[in-house]
Structures are given as C-alpha cells and as structure tokens.
Amino acid sequence: MTRFALTLEFDGTPFFGLQRQAHGPSVQQSIEDALHRITGETVTLHSAGRTDAGVHALAMRSHVDIAKSFDPFRLMEALNAHLRSERIAVIACEVVPDDWHARFSCTGRRYLYRIVNRRAPLTLMRDRAWHVAQPLDADAMHRAAQALVGRHDFTTFRSVHCQAADPVKSLDVLDVERVGEEVHIHAAARSFLHHQVRSMVGCLKLVGAGNWPEVRIAEALAARDRGALGLNAPPHGLYFVAATYPEEPAP
C-alpha cells in the first residue's frame, strides 16, 4: 500500500463541499470515483480541511492509499484526465510516509477571502468573490480585525452546526488589505471552527461599511454568543490557500 499526497485546486461552485455528501456532488466523491476507475480500488480521500458548498481551493492537501504501484506523475496525469469534465485539478502528487496524514499532520491552514468593492456588478468574478457595492474602509477593517488575533473563545464566530469540541482557537493572522478594487482578508491558524472565517469577514465588512464601530468586533468576541454575530459572509469569496506540515517550507 502506497500513500500519495495530492495537492488540489478546485472551483467549489458546483459542489456541496469538499467532503462526501449524501444529498449532492462533492469534491471527495469525484476524486474517489476517478481513482476507482483508474485503479479498480475503493479508496478514501482525506483532506487538510473541509470546505462548504461554494468555497474554492488553490492548494488543498489530501492523501489516498493505493495498493497498486503507480508513478506519482502518471497518477496525477490519469486523475486529471478523468477529472477533465469536473472543476477539479490535481496540481501536485507525491509519495509520502505511511504516518503522514493530510489532516492530522497539518500544523497550519491559510485562507483568503476576496471582496470586490465596486458599484458595477460582477461578470468574470461572479461566484469567485463577494460583491459589495458600498465603499469599504479596509484600514478600519484591519484595525478591528486585530482584536481577534490570538487565543480566544470564538463561540460568536462559529456555526451552530460546528462539531468542534472546544470553541477556543488560536488565530495567528487576520490581515485586511486593499488591492485595487478588491479587499482581501488573509486568515491563518492551526485550525478553524466551522464558518469562523466567513463569520469574521461578515462582521469586518460591517466595520468597513461604517455600520459597526471598530470596537464592536472586540465586543462581539467577548459576548461568546452567536446572537452577537452581525453577518455571515457568503461562501463564494472564500479560498483555501495552503496547508503547512512539519519539515516542509511554508508555502
């Protein structure tokens, strides 16, 4: 049995999320079905993170165990051939040790949230970013975001369906910057709660639009109450950017 690490890029628009779902298509199901056609084996895809319906990935790390012998490059080529009609690409494939696990060996995860901040509607960026027409103050958003950096109880910013045992997480980075007509929010942590990034972004948008004072972010955090959440950002602006592992250079 050989363990292969896959790096995946995907457009989350047509999927009900990364993880296999009983009620709709998923990235996991597409890849597992492709591997079954290639190898004849029933395999399980394990990934560094779980993404909701509509969320995208630039470099999701995953792994599969395959009994047959394959050259990593040939396996990647075969997978991409079978996934050609899907919005999924395998951009890297390598053999890893048996104790390497895409989820449990991961020591850090990075996300990017993209807001297109202009009056005109989206065409090319439709379903790839959150369109916000009113002007946003990215500097105010960044200042407010710093109240969330560090180790906190993020109950306010977690989904009511979150399955994590503990709402306490350590947020390493939450930076906001303007890039032309876009506002980018960068988030990094060892792990995140369900909807945490989208919930933080939604509240920061309220600050940027002048609906909330900057201090309201810290107050929402201190409330430890989902009822204090102002807004949950839509999924289509969120991108899984990278996963970090021991003895690997930071991406």
pLDDT in tens, 125-181: 999 999 999 999 999 999 999 999 999 999 999 988 787 889 999 999 999 999 999
Task: Give CA–CA dist 164/68, Å, rounded.
Answer: 36
CA-to-CA distance for 223 and 218, rounded, in angstroms?
9
Q: 190 in a domain, yes or no? A: yes
175-198 mean pLDDT: 97
Domain boundary among 96, 125, 144: 96
- Which domain-ending residue is among 66, 96, 126? 96
Q: Which two tokens stand for residue 107?
A: 């020591």
Measured distance CA(171)–CA(163) in Å, rounded: 18
Number of structural domains in the chain: 2
pTM recorded for the entire structure: 0.94
Q: Which of 73, 96, 119 is the last residue of a domain?
A: 96
Q: What share of the chain in percent tops pLDDT 90?
A: 92
**pLDDT value of residue 10:** 97
CA 242 to chain CA mean position, Å: 9
Same domain? For 17 and 71 the reply is yes
As a whole number of angstroms, the distance between CA 3 and CA 222 comes to 43
Pairing of strands 88-96, 2-10: antiparallel
pLDDT at 81 over 70: yes
Per-residue pLDDT band for 250 (boundaries 50, 70, 90) equals low
Asked if residue 91 and residue 13 are part of one domain, the reply reads yes
| Mean pLDDT in residue range 215-233 | 95
Which segment, 106-115, 223-232, 240-249, is predicted with the most confidence on average? 106-115
Claim to verify: residue 123 and residue 219 sit in the same structural domain: yes
Residues 225 and 136 occupy one common structural domain: yes
**Do 120 and 78 fall within a single domain?**
no
For the cut 80, the answer to whether the pLDDT of residue 120 exceeds it is: yes
71-82 average pLDDT score: 97
For the chain, give the number of residues.
251
Does 160 lie in the same domain as 91? no
- 250 lies in some domain: no
Domain annotation covers residue 196 = yes
Question: Tell me, what's the pLDDT at 161?
Answer: 79
Arithmetic mean of pLDDT over the chain:
95
Whole-angstrom distance, CA of residue 42 vs CA of residue 29: 11
Q: Which DSSP state fits 16?
A: S
CATH of the domain at 30: 3.30.70.580
Question: Is residue 19 assigned to a domain?
Answer: yes
Query: Is there a catalytic annotation at residue 52?
Result: yes
Query: Both 152 and 66 in a single domain?
Result: no
Looking at the fold, whether 126 and 210 belong to one and the same domain comes out as yes
Q: Whole domain around residue 26: which residue ranges?
A: 2-96
Residue 251 lies in a domain: no
Does the residue 249 lie in any domain? no
Quick check: 108 pLDDT over 80? yes
CA distance linking residue 61 with residue 5, whole number of Å: 7
User: What's the mean pLDDT in 191-195?
Assistant: 94
pLDDT score, position 251: 63
Residues 191-197: what's their mean pLDDT? 95
Q: For residues 42-75, b (16+ Cβ closer than 10 Å) or e, as one string? A: ebebbbbbbbbbbbbbbbbbbbbebeeebebeeb
Q: What number is the average pLDDT over the span 19-36?
A: 93
Tell me the percentage of the chain whose pLDDT exceeds 70.
98
φ, ψ at 66 (rounded to 5°): -130, 135
Q: What confidence score (pLDDT) does residue 165 get? A: 83
84 located within any domain: yes
Whether residues 197 and 149 share a domain: the answer is yes
Domain identity same for 31 and 59: yes
Say yes or no: 112 and 231 in one domain: yes
Which CATH number do you get for residue 217?
A: 3.30.70.660
Choose, from 52, 153, 166, 172, the residue flagged as catalytic: 52
The verdict on residue 176 lying in a domain is: yes
Are 43 and 158 members of one domain? no
- Roughly what angle, to the nearest 10 degrees, separates helices 138-145 and 196-208? 130
Which own/partner contact pairs does 28-34 have at CB distance under 8 Å and 24+ positions apart? 30/83, 30/86, 30/88, 31/6, 31/62, 31/64, 31/79, 31/83, 31/88, 34/79, 34/82, 34/83
